[in-house]
Amino acid sequence: MKKITLLAALCISAVSMAQIASTSFEEEVIEAGVNDGKYFDTGDANVAHDLVNNAGQTPVDQSGGTELGVDARYEPYDTPDVGLTDGDFVGVTNFTPSAEVLFTDGIQGYQISDTDGNYIMEFDPVDLTGASNPGVTLDYILSINGDGSNGNYEGDGTVNESGSDRLRIYIKDLTNTTEIDLFNSTGFDLDEFVPIDGGTGNYILQWQSASASLSPDTMVQLVVEARCNAAAEVFYLDNIVFTGNLGTERFQSNQFSIYPNPARDYVNITSVNSGEKQVQIFDVLGKQVMNQTVTNGLNISKLNSGIYLVKISQGNTSETKKLVVK
């Protein structure tokens, strides 16, 4: 995973509201008969494990590029069930919630259903350095059954067992080691959160929005935890956006380059301006593993293989990039 910096912004004078990071799950191209349909987990449903994309199946992970990446994993009930080994509709999809209810941004979104265990999504960390009044918004759907006359969901999510459905969407503040809920059904029947038609009294398939204010100069991460045990119990996500007021120095993107990438022992770090650069390297948990001043290159031979976040600063300009160490 990588730390996401500025993607798109509208510069107004010295400070402007900007979109710092976002995803509508559009980068993983879904094609009928190629990578759509059900996802079959090949891991052991009795133990917690990372989920990986399988060839010819719906992708559960999104690598990220201009959009936020996401990594999915599975954790069993206290009394383990089949998990996702029986094939379930989870992951990036272009299959809309209904013919009338489309995705709120673009033609794709993310669905989670019939997990028979805990399905956890961890998004790329987002760097809020230099952002004032940062926040996050997203859209979600809690599905209903066919006619909407009664609810699908069971239990109140307080026990880690089948029949105790739960959805929690929250922000991890990696800097202050705190958590901020956008949505948390723990202690309640999820049916209570599904919109109802005032005329018929039936449940409605309808997008809802969640938002939260965040602290400036922090690194944060969006996490989704879902638990359900039936095909009719479906969660949809779309249009995830981090915003904030940014100074003009944050608009100077693509000032730095790192190559080769992936790398093994040494990387070149160049900028459009000559001179020294401050380089900080973090692992995906946000722990700083290197902090050096360089002119052109950096020795990374002591780093273990994996994915790192490299924050490069020069003068009033800073940029964060992903580095893969072989």
SS3 191: helix
In order, the DSSP letters of 290-324 are EEEEESSEEE-TTSPSEEEEEEEEETTEEEEEEEE
Structural domains in the chain, CATH included, are 8-248 (2.60.120.260), 252-325 (2.60.40.3080)
**Contact call for residues 247 and 318 (beta carbons, < 8 A):** no
Q: Which candidate, 50, 203, 40, 209, places its Cα nearest to that of 141?
A: 209
User: Residue 147: what pLDDT?
Assistant: 58
Q: How far is CA 162 from the centre of its chain?
A: 25
DSSP 326: -
Phi, psi of 248 (to 5 degrees): -60, -25
* Token pair listed for 45: 């449903």
User: Residue 148: what pLDDT?
Assistant: 64
Q: How many helices (H) and strands (E) does the chain have?
A: 0, 21
Dihedral-angle region of residue 130 (phi above 0 means left; psi in -120 to 50 means alpha; beta otherwise): left
Structure-token match 């190629």, residue found = 34
DSSP 124: P
In order, the DSSP letters of 11-78 are --TTEEEEEEEEE-S-SS---TTTS-S-B---S-TTS-EE----TTS--S-B--SSS--EEEEEE--S
Query: Consecutive 10-residue runs of the chain (326 residues): their mean pLDDT?
Result: 37 54 90 86 98 95 87 97 97 94 95 98 93 95 74 92 98 96 97 89 93 96 97 96 74 72 89 86 84 91 89 82 85
Would you say the C-alpha torsion 268, 270, 276, 277 has a positive or negative sign? negative
* Token pair listed for 81: 């069930």
Q: Which candidate, 71, 105, 93, 92, places its Cα nearest to that of 2?
A: 71
Residues paired with residue 325 on neighbouring β-strands, in sequence order:
263, 306
Q: Which residues have CB under 8 Å from 287's CB, separation 6+? A: none
- CA angle centred on 55, ends 49 and 56, rounded to 5°: 120
